[in-house]
Amino acid sequence: MAGVLLIVAAAIVFPGIILRTKSILSGRKGPGILQPVKDIRVLLLKGSVFSETSGLIFQAAPVITLASFACAMLVIPFARMEALVSFDGDFIFFIYLLAFGKFFAIIAALDTGSSFEGMGANREALYSMLVEPALFILLATFAMFTGFTSFSDIFSNFYISGSHYALIYSMIGFYLLAQVAMIENSRLPVDDPKTHLELTMIHEVMILDNSGFDKALIHIGLYLRFAVFGALLFNVLVPAEWNTPLQIALFFIIQVVFAVMIGLLESFRARNKMGKNPKFILTLSAIALIAFMVVLILTEKLIT
Amino acid sequence: MNTILFLIILFLSFWVFILPKSYKYYYTLVLLAGGLALSTIWSFRVFDGSDEQLIVRLDFQTFHSSIVFTIDRLSAFFILVVNLTVLTGFLYARGYLATYEKSKNALQFSIHYLAYMWLYFSMIMVVMIRDGVSFLIMWEIMALASFLLVIFDAQERSIMKTGISYLIQMHVGLFFILIAFLLVGKATGQMSFDAMGEYFSAHSNLLVFMLFFIGFGIKAGFIPLHTWLPQAHPAAPSHVSGVMSGVMIKMGIYGLLRILISVQNNLFEIGIIILTISIISGILGVMMAIMQHDLKRLLAYHSIENIGIIGIGIGLGVIGMALQNPVLSLLGFSGGILHVLNHSLFKSLLFYNAGSVYHTSHTRNIEQLGGLMKKMPYTAIFFLIGSLAICGLPPFNGFISEYLIFLGMFKSLGTANLYQSIIVTGSLVGLALIGGLAVFCFTKAFGIVFLGTPRSEEAARVSEVSKNMLFPQYIIVFFILLIGMASAYFVRPIFSLVSQTFGIGEIQAFRGAFIGDLTKINLLGGIFVLLIVLLLLYRHFHLKRRVVERGPTWGCGYTAATSKHQYTATSYADNYAKLAKPLLRNRETYSGIGNEEVFPGKKKFKTQSFDYFKEYLIDRPVHLLLEGLKKIAFMQTGQIQHYILYLFLYMLILFLLSYLNLI
């Protein structure tokens, strides 16, 4: 339960911190930290315009996508506290549930019959497919390293071996998860949420026709997804044995650092050329293979 | 009593010829229902645990012989899977065949119905018969019956050609199985599945297994033995494609499992072979599926992918047996076997929907369709459910079987040594990729066909199909949801099937815990659905209090957008096609706009998918063979004197050879 509450709390401030970082770095006064939340309130008050072409799928997709994130949140543990629902292989469920949400986001974009939104749809489909090997290799190394097969068990036993080399491994895990989080949440360098041209967008172009309530749901979903990945990052980094107040403090510190990092990255880095993205994403699989090698060594399978 | 009934049904099936045209359908339905009821009763008697196996004897006094049906749990499972799909297929056929009422005569209908009945009878007898000769006869009847079903539309030349090619490839498969049986028969003096154990314990396992694997693999459609599949499925009427893809190709899987029961050594190598071929089938199958524009061919390639998933499960199960890792064995085999059931459900559903689309729009070309959801909402929603299930997304049934296989892999990682870790992680990545690619493929298929605006006149004129055609789909969707939401009731019997059939040691504690986990998955699935419903309700009331308008799709300021501006299937798959080009060798022909062309003329752009294996395994060799045969065609003079001369020369050669003791 604690995990869910913390994720929701983080989701409220997370996007604001990114915004603040970016506006400070670009020398603007910029909005306050709670501006994204206020934006959602405004969106909720507004009416909606629906395309004449769109139908049932377009109307239902934002709800389904948000529900998939909210439901995926339930299997994320927080330190020693088990997740609300925890079972063997819950991370498989987690990944596939996120894919369910994505499936609907993609077909909703196609439902508008727009010449732009298909563009975002097929990019989203391709990139999320390319991310999967990296994610699964990483999870395989988790399972191999700890000998457990659920998020709760893996994270509560992550540092139990006592080997200091585990730190190397956790750093690689952190890096990979952070990169996957950036791709999954359509941030730089794969996608730029603030781009102004439809031709260069991925996620933004899929939701061109959404307005009002639906758009608010899509934003909430994005913020939640960030916080969910933030919680995973926290679990990889912080040993589960530390005491709870410290854990909670660290949780927020990691979330803030992660958000500031994204802000920094987006202020100083240009987006990839669209054609280079597949290569960039596949590199993650290569790094995941390195993690795999590290674990083979750590578990004394490769070098005994 | 039962056996006599069964014989009477077999006998009565031929009477379909003498009935008036309008009664034929119902007559067939009654006979099928009889067969279904009988075999279902037999299967349940095996499954409820009262008998380990059920033996039914059919005695033919006049021939002094008898056919013995032996039903163990494996057979019973396959019988139930076959029964369900054959029933839904035939119910669907009523509406689908209605359009052929005028163009086909009574004889053609009789042949079609007879072939359908015998496809069914031969399939259930294939899984019940252990004797080699009878098995091969049934296997052959299955091929012939399905051939007759495929060529129902034979007035089109291409369909007849496809049918012949299908028949030939089936016989190549039969040939391999026959050789394997003969080898076993020669060594043990008994051509039967029961003699396999005896053979395998005394002889090398690999050769005979490979012969069986190739023979059964052609039926199942493992790459590179799949070449008949993408051709035969689009050619056949949709209810037949549904049955063929849903259950007939699973007979290959059944054969494979039946052999694996007896295999005793070289288990690790055999497991690796199955696993490797399955991963290749899975990945290449779905990769090629994405490139297809023919809806039914796309689904056919997806069958190859799903056979791959089933094979991954079975391969892991065998490796688990080799490593004496009962958990891996149990999860692998169970995942594979459950996927047999799951695939038969969603694939037949998808084929029926593809048939409905073809039925009303008269095209299977995805590029010509679009916006069908508004006109055909039920078909669209059923297709959507089938798509979600085939992608393995929770809370549908496909997830459960893929989850079993995934979990088997993850569970075995903790104790695996270096090579095993690499193998398991490799297959893990393979299965994950298959999942991702499937999502890509079905967002394309569903999005382009059912969403957006119609891309052609035909697509704009469609209407929802009749209730007759929708009714069997409700049945399938019911089972898809049932397996997805009440998984334990299906997984538990499959666990006991697997542990009984493959002799996997007692791991009760694990099984109990696992069933608990399944309940949690179902619970989460339930929460997910509930959340969606609540949010939708809230959204409904929320929008009621707001201004809701309708307007054109955002066109970036351009207001004269037509349906041609939409994304097409080709453009949707374009970024993928570029990535996959080195592997798939898909072809593009486009003459670009030249520098001098101030006013460019008409340009043509053509893309073509390419099946490597069909080209190099079938087309090229056949071409070479034909070229060679043409060269000796001069012997065909048409004069009887020459032929008598050939006969004489032949006898002379035989005489010489025997004189020299060469033969």
pLDDT of B341 > 70? The answer is yes
CB contact under 8 Å between B418 and A92, yes or no, is no
Taking only residues 124 to 153 of chain A, the set having a beta carbon closer than 8 angstroms to any beta carbon of chain B reads 125-126, 128-130, 132-133, 135-137, 139-140, 143-144, 146-149
Q: Report which DSSP code applies to B617.
A: I
Q: Do residues B262 and B197 touch, judged by C-beta distance below 8 A?
A: yes
CB contact under 8 Å between B371 and A213, yes or no, is no
Taking only residues 27 to 46 of chain A, the set having a beta carbon closer than 8 angstroms to any beta carbon of chain B reads 44, 46
CA B477/CA B359 separation, integer angstroms? 21
pLDDT score recorded for residue B533? 95
Contact list in B for residue A49 (CB cut-off 8 A) is: 548-551
Shortest distance, CA B586 to any CA of chain A (angstroms): 18
Q: Which two tokens stand for residue B319?
A: 């490796």
Contact list in B for residue A44 (CB cut-off 8 A) is: 542
Closest CA to A226 of A269, A172, A192, A183: A183
| Of the listed ranges A15-29, B67-81, B587-601, the one predicted with least confidence | B587-601
CB contact under 8 Å between A49 and B551, yes or no, is yes
B29 SS3 class = helix
pLDDT of B645 > 90? The answer is yes
Mean pLDDT of B536-564: 85
Give the Cα-Cα-Cα angle B168, B242, B317 (nearest 5 degrees). 80
Q: Does A47 reach chain B within 8 Å, measured CB to CB?
A: yes
Q: Higher-confidence residue: B659 or A168?
A: B659
CB contact under 8 Å between A107 and B443, yes or no, is yes
pLDDT score recorded for residue B60? 63
Mean pLDDT of A236-261: 89
Q: Does A300 reach chain B within 8 Å, measured CB to CB?
A: no
Contact list in A for residue B572 (CB cut-off 8 A) is: 110, 118, 121-122
Q: For residue A56, which amino acid is it? A: L
Q: Do residues B95 and B466 touch, judged by C-beta distance below 8 A?
A: yes
Q: Does A67 reach chain B within 8 Å, measured CB to CB?
A: yes
Mean pLDDT of A91-110: 93
pLDDT of B336 > 70? The answer is yes
CB contact under 8 Å between B550 and A67, yes or no, is no
Closest CA to B237 of B351, B110, B145: B351
Phi, psi of B68 (to 5 degrees): -110, 125
**pLDDT bucket at B356, cuts 50 / 70 / 90:** very high
Q: What is the pLDDT of residues B612-625, one digit of tens each?
A: 888 888 888 889 99
The mean pLDDT value of chain A amounts to 88
**pLDDT bucket at A294, cuts 50 / 70 / 90:** confident
Q: What is the pLDDT of residues B480-512, one digit of tens each?
A: 999 999 998 999 889 888 888 888 876 777 888
Contact list in A for residue B579 (CB cut-off 8 A) is: 126, 278
Closest CA to B398 of B384, B409, B387: B387
pLDDT score recorded for residue B61? 62
**Strands (DSSP E) found in B476-576:** 548-551
pLDDT of B312 > 90? The answer is yes
Shortest distance, CA B372 to any CA of chain A (angstroms): 11
Q: Which two tokens stand for residue B63?
A: 């021939």
Mean pLDDT of B143-162: 88
List CB contacts of B10: < 8 A, sequence separation 6 or more: B121
CB contact under 8 Å between A128 and B410, yes or no, is no
Residues A205-243: b if buried by 16+ CB within 10 A, e if exposed: bbbbbbbbbbbbbbbbbbbbbbbbbbbbbbbbbbbbeee
Q: How far is CA B113 from CA B14, B23, B554, in A?
A: 10, 11, 52
pLDDT score recorded for residue B539? 93
CB contact under 8 Å between A67 and B437, yes or no, is no
Contact list in B for residue A122 (CB cut-off 8 A) is: 440, 444, 567, 571-576
pLDDT of A37 > 80? The answer is yes
CB contact under 8 Å between B554 and A114, yes or no, is yes
Contact list in A for residue B539 (CB cut-off 8 A) is: 63, 213-214
Q: How many CB atoms lie within 10 A of CB A146?
A: 22
Contact list in A for residue B370 (CB cut-off 8 A) is: 113
pLDDT score recorded for residue A290? 87
Taking only residues 108 to 127 of chain A, the set having a beta carbon closer than 8 angstroms to any beta carbon of chain B reads 110-119, 121-123, 125-126
Mutation for A interface: B374, B532, B545, B574, most A CBs within 10 A: B532
Shortest distance, CA B548 to any CA of chain A (angstroms): 5
CB contact under 8 Å between A136 and B429, yes or no, is yes
Contact list in B for residue A126 (CB cut-off 8 A) is: 440, 575-576, 579
pLDDT score recorded for residue B633? 85
Q: How far is CA B543 from CA A118, A210, B374, B397, B565, in A?
A: 27, 14, 22, 33, 31
DSSP for A231-269, written as a single string: HHHHHHHS-TTS-HHHHHHHHHHHHHHHHHHHHHHHHH-
Q: Do residues B82 and B120 touch, judged by C-beta distance below 8 A?
A: yes
Cβ-Cβ contacts under 8 Å between A and B: the total is 252
Mean pLDDT of B438-447: 94
Q: What is the pLDDT of residues B49-107, one digit of tens each?
A: 655 677 777 666 656 667 788 888 899 999 999 999 999 999 999 988 888 888 888 88
Q: How far is CA B88 from CA B238, B247, B464, in A?
A: 12, 12, 19
Mutation for B interface: A52, A132, A195, most B CBs within 10 A: A132
Residue A136: which of B432, B547, B573 has the nearest Cβ?
B432
Contact list in B for residue A210 (CB cut-off 8 A) is: none
The mean pLDDT value of chain B amounts to 89
pLDDT score recorded for residue B245? 92
Q: How many CB atoms lie within 10 A of CB B596?
A: 5
Taking only residues 218 to 277 of chain A, the set having a beta carbon closer than 8 angstroms to any beta carbon of chain B reads none
Q: Which residue has the tokens 């039920």?
A: B378
Phi, psi of B129 (to 5 degrees): -95, 135
pLDDT score recorded for residue B62? 59
Domain ranges of chain A: 2-298
pLDDT score recorded for residue A100? 94
Contact list in A for residue B532 (CB cut-off 8 A) is: 60, 63-64, 67
- Distance between alpha carbon B448 and the CA centroid of its chain, in Å? 24
Q: Higher-confidence residue: A79 or A51?
A: A51
Q: Does A215 reach chain B within 8 Å, measured CB to CB?
A: no
Q: Does A75 reach chain B within 8 Å, measured CB to CB?
A: yes
Shortest distance, CA B237 to any CA of chain A (angstroms): 28
Mutation for B interface: A45, A76, A100, most B CBs within 10 A: A100
Q: What is the Rg, in whole angstroms, of the alpha carbon atoms belonging to chain A?
A: 19
Q: What is the pLDDT of residues B16-42, one digit of tens each?
A: 888 888 888 999 999 999 999 999 988
Closest CA to A208 of A273, A121, A102, A99: A121
B397 SS3 class = helix
pLDDT above 70 coverage of chain B, percent: 98
B394 preceded by cis ω (within 30°)?
Answer: no
pLDDT score recorded for residue A304? 67
Closest residue in chain A to residue B525, using alpha carbons only: A71
pLDDT above 90 coverage of chain A, percent: 37
Mean pLDDT of B583-603: 80
List CB contacts of A54: < 8 A, sequence separation 6 or more: A108, A111, A112, A113, A209, B553
Q: Which two tokens stand for residue B521?
A: 């998955």
**pLDDT bucket at B200, cuts 50 / 70 / 90:** confident
